Amino acid sequence: MQRQATILITEPSHFNVSYAINPWMKPESWAADPVAAHRSAMAASAALQQALQQAGCVVEVAPGTAGLPDMVFPANSAVVLDGRAITSRFRHPQRRGEEDAFLRMFDGLRERGLLREVRQLPPGVFQEGAGDCMWDEARGHFWAGFGPRSSHAAIALMAEFFGREIVPLELVSERCYHLDVCFVPLSGGEILYFPPALTEAALQTLRSRVPADQLIEATEDDLRNFSINAVNVGRHIVLSNSSQRLRAVLEQRGYTLIEVDLSPFMLSGGGAYCMTLRLDRSSSRSSSAEH
């Protein structure tokens, strides 16, 4: 049975860039004209919502919270599979207030029947949700980033919770502080990734599990455009404005790209994938959306 993909996004009224916890964050650019920046963020989020609907997704909108601007990145709120969610523990104090806010929101989703179980990771480990734990639907396992944000210790806890294999990949740089900035598994089994973001051991792991013709190398430009931070649903890929080269590579593989100007959110170090959380991920492949 085919179900429509259900994607959570956060209402962006409380978004701003007022601190810097990754090297892409530009509080000074936001502060130069906060009214205009806010206006373009609202428009960009609406455009993303539309693009996701165009890709065949049902969009669920969660409320934001004043003083927690990065709640617009629900990819960091939890890891969800088979209706079960495990909620995050943030590395930086600036984002820790999101833990309870998202936990309450997920309890609400459970009450509405959109999830069947919600658990919070114990304190003392860091794990920043689906941004650092990405489901590979073609292979039936997670890939988990660790290093800059999420701790390695969280991986075993999540593997136990989900009863699924989680393959760890160590990240080497603050620019690629979450796995989703530099890595995305696609529905056809390809992996688009930025090689310099991973340790030599992580690259070896990747090569031992993914045939060379399914590994697509992204460039420095793709990283800067936040194009790797893409939402793939079936044959659709929703992403921030990307290069002609990347568009051609992905189209040649049979994907249809839907590009959105997400520059206001790139000022915070995020793109399309960070701004979403897939709620209907299923470990059996039958839940993939339309084509």
Strands 6-10 and 58-62: parallel
Tell me the C-alpha distance between 196 and 209, whole Å. 18
Output the smallest distance, CB 262 to ligand ARG, in A.
Answer: 11
| From candidates 268, 276, 287, 288, binder to ligand ARG by CB under 6 A | 268
Q: Which residue is nearest to ligand ARG (CB)?
A: 131
Residues 198-237 as x/- pattern, contact with ligand ARG by CB under 6 A? ----------------------------------------
How many residues lie near ligand ARG (CB under 6 A)?
16
- CB count within 10 Å of CB 159 equals 18
Q: Which residues are catalytic?
A: 178, 274
Sequence-distant contacts of 39-44: CB under 8 A, at least 24 apart: 40/263, 40/264, 41/12, 41/15, 41/72, 41/264, 41/265, 42/12, 42/13, 44/260, 44/261, 44/262, 44/263, 44/264, 44/265
Q: Contact between 185 and ligand ARG (CB under 6 A)?
A: no
Site for ligand ARG in 36-95 (CB under 6 A): 70, 73, 75-76, 95
Token pair in block for residue 44: 């960009």
- The separation between the first and the last C-alpha atoms of the chain, rounded to the nearest angstrom, is 14
Phi-psi group of 67: left, alpha or beta (phi > 0 → left; psi -120 to 50 → alpha; rest → beta): left
| From candidates 258, 274, 277, 279, binder to ligand ARG by CB under 6 A | 274
Output the smallest distance, CB 76 to ligand ARG, in A.
Answer: 5
Q: Contact between 270 and ligand ARG (CB under 6 A)?
A: yes
Output the smallest distance, CB 2 to ligand ARG, in A.
Answer: 27
Per the listing, tokens 């963020």 go with 41
Per CB under 6 A, the segment of 37-45, 134-142, 173-181, 282-290 that binds ligand ARG is 173-181
- The contact set with ligand ARG (CB under 6 A) reads 21-22, 25, 70, 73, 75-76, 95, 131, 178, 180-181, 268-270, 274
